[in-house]
Amino acid sequence: MTRHLISLEDLSDDDLYAMVARAAGHGAGRPPGHRPLDGTVVGIYFRKTSTRTRTAFSAGALRLGAGIVAYGPDDLQTNTGETTEDTGAVFARMLDMLVARTAGEPDELRGWAGQGGMSVVNAMTADEHPTQAIADLAALQGRFGRIAGLRILYLGEGNNTAAALALALSRYPDTYLELRTPPGYGLTPRILELTGARAEKSGGRIVERHDTADVPPGFDVIYTTRWQTTGTSKPDPDWRRVFEPFRVTRELWRTSPDAAFMHDLPAHRGEEVSAEVLDGPRSIAFDQAACKMYGAMAVLEWCHHGVVVPSGATGAELG
C-alpha cells in the first residue's frame, strides 16, 4: 500500500502516535538496526527556501539507506511550460517517494499522490506543516517523557506550523494548547473547529485569544514562530505594529518558571523572540531542530513499509 503524508488528517491516531514514538526513539539514539530504505530513491523537491526540513529529509533518507535526487525551484521543466500533472506522472515512474515543499495549496501534492506507486510527503504547504508537528511532538516526548497532559502556550501568527501543532496535540489525552495570535492572524475557523472538537473528545482543550493580557500560569512549554512565514506576505503594511505585543520575552516565565522554550526556526532575535530567551537555558529550540531529522526518518519509514504500533497501544501510553 502506498502511503502519503499530505495532512495530519491523513493519519489515524495510531499512525501519529507510532511516528512520534519512532522519531523520539531515533532521537534517543535507538538506531533502526538496518537500512530499511536500501534500494529506494527519494526525490527532494523544494520550490521554497529551507534549511532544516530539506537537510532533515536528505540526511534522514541517506541514514536509512535510500538514494536521493534533489531538485531546486529552477530545475524542473515546469519552468518551461510542462504541466505539474505531467511532471508528477514522470516522478511516479522513477521515484519511490517524493518530499515536496511548494508553500502553495496542497492540491498539487494530492494530484501527484493520485498518480500511484509513489509516496508523497508534504514538507510544507500554505495551510499546514505536518512534518514540523511530528518533530515538535518528538521533541516534547524527549524533553518530558510524555505528551499527554502537557500545557503549551503558543504566541504569534496562526500559520501552518500553528495549525499542524493544533492538529497533532488535539489527538493526545488531556493536552492544553492556548494560542495567543494577533488580531486578523489567527487559525482558520475550520482548524479551530476541528481541533477544538477533537481535543474535547480526548479530554484536552484548545483555545485562542487575540491579546496578551492575563496569561495564565503553569505552562510546560512556550512556543513561537517567526513573524514572516516562508513564502507568504502580509496584506497590512503596518503588520509589525500589530505583532509587537506578541514578542516572547523573559517576562512570560514569571508565572511558568519551568517552561521550556520552543521555536521552529529560523529565528529573528529582537522580533518574535528576545535573544536572552532563544539563547537562554530554557530554550530547546536547537534540540527541537535536530528532531526534524528524526521525524523525517520516521515519516519515510512509515511511507515505505508502515510503522508497527504495539497491540492495544493508546495515545496516553505512547505519549
Helices (H), the chain: 13-27, 52-63, 84-94, 107-113, 130-144, 160-169, 189-201, 239-243, 275-278, 285-305, 315-318
Q: Kindly compute the dihedral angle of the four CA atoms of residues 189, 99, 266, 204, in this order, to the nearest 10 degrees.
A: 40
Mean confidence (pLDDT) of the chain: 93
CA–CA separation, 102 and 105 (whole Å): 8
Helix, strand, coil in percent for the chain, rounding step 5: 40, 15, 45
Structural contact between residues 109 and 87, judged by C-beta atoms closer than 8 angstroms? no
Flag whether pLDDT at 56 surpasses 90.
yes
CA–CA separation, 1 and 83 (whole Å): 27
Q: Provide the pLDDT confidence category of residue 307 given band limits of 50, 70 and 90.
A: low
Residue 56, C-alpha cell as written in the block: 532533515
Structural contact between residues 138 and 158, judged by C-beta atoms closer than 8 angstroms? no
Question: What is the reported pLDDT for 231?
Answer: 67
Structural contact between residues 319 and 172, judged by C-beta atoms closer than 8 angstroms? yes
Neighbour-count burial of 20, counting CB atoms closer than 10 A to its CB (0-12 exposed, 13-18 middle, 19+ buried): buried
Q: Per residue in 74-112, pLDDT tens?
A: 999 999 999 999 999 999 999 999 999 998 899 999 999
Q: Per residue in 179-232, pLDDT tens?
A: 999 999 999 999 999 999 999 999 999 999 999 999 999 999 999 999 987 767
| Domains with residue ranges and CATH for the chain | 8-128+293-308 (3.40.50.1370), 130-288 (3.40.50.1370)
Q: What is the pTM of this model?
A: 0.94
Cα distances (Å, whole numbers) of residue 218 to 23, 79, 170, 280: 27, 51, 19, 19
Residue 290 CB contacts under 8 Å (≥ 6 apart), including other chains: 27
CB-based contacts of 233-241 (< 8 A; 24+ apart in sequence): 236/184, 239/182, 239/185
- Measured over the CA atoms of residue 278, residue 51, residue 179 and residue 159, the dihedral's sign is positive
Q: Provide the pLDDT confidence category of residue 309 given band limits of 50, 70 and 90.
A: very low
- Coil/strand/helix, residue 168: helix
Residue scoring higher pLDDT (310 or 18): 18
The whole-number average pLDDT for the span 281-305 is 97
The whole-number average pLDDT for the span 297-314 is 70
Q: Per residue in 124-143, pLDDT tens?
A: 999 999 999 999 999 999 99
Nearest to 128 by CA among 11, 254, 251, 294: 11
Structural contact between residues 125 and 109, judged by C-beta atoms closer than 8 angstroms? yes
Which amino acid is located at 261 in the chain?
F
Residue 287 CB contacts under 8 Å (≥ 6 apart), including other chains: 139, 142, 143
CA–CA separation, 5 and 97 (whole Å): 11
